[in-house]
C-alpha cells in the first residue's frame, strides 16, 4: 500500500508537539512496543505515571483529529 506521507507528517508533527514526558510515553508504548512496566523503567518513573502520561498524550492526539479511538494496548 502506498504511504500516506501527509498522514505520516501530521502524526510526527502532533507527537512532536506533545510535552516531552507525554511524547516519551507515547513513543515507548505505541511506536516502541513497550509495555507499561518497561516504559516506567525506561522513563525512571512509576507505572501509574506512564498510564497518566499516555492517556494525556492520546487525548491530545485525539483532539488534533489524528485518532478516533484508544490504540490497542501493547
Residue-level pLDDT at 48: 98
Residue-level pLDDT at 74: 47
Stretch (H or E) spanning 25:
helix 20-26
pTM, two decimals, is 0.81
If you average pLDDT over residues 33-38, what whole number do you get?
97
Judge residue 64's burial from the number of C-beta atoms within 10 Å of its C-beta, 0-12 exposed, 13-18 middle, 19 or more buried. Answer: middle
Q: Where do runs of H (alpha helix) occur along the chain?
A: 5-17, 20-26, 36-43, 47-63
If you average pLDDT over residues 31-46, what whole number do you get?
97
If you average pLDDT over residues 42-53, what whole number do you get?
98
Amino acid at each position: 500500500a502506498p504511504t500516506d506521507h501527509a498522514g505520516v507528517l501530521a502524526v510526527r508533527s502532533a507527537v512532536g508537539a506533545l510535552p516531552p514526558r507525554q511524547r516519551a510515553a507515547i513513543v515507548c508504548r505505541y511506536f516502541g512496543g513497550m509495555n507499561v512496566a518497561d516504559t516506567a523503567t525506561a522513563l525512571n518513573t512509576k507505572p501509574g505515571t506512564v498510564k497518566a502520561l499516555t492517556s494525556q498524550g492520546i487525548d491530545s492526539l485525539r483532539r488534533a483529529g489524528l485518532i478516533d479511538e484508544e490504540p490497542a494496548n501493547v
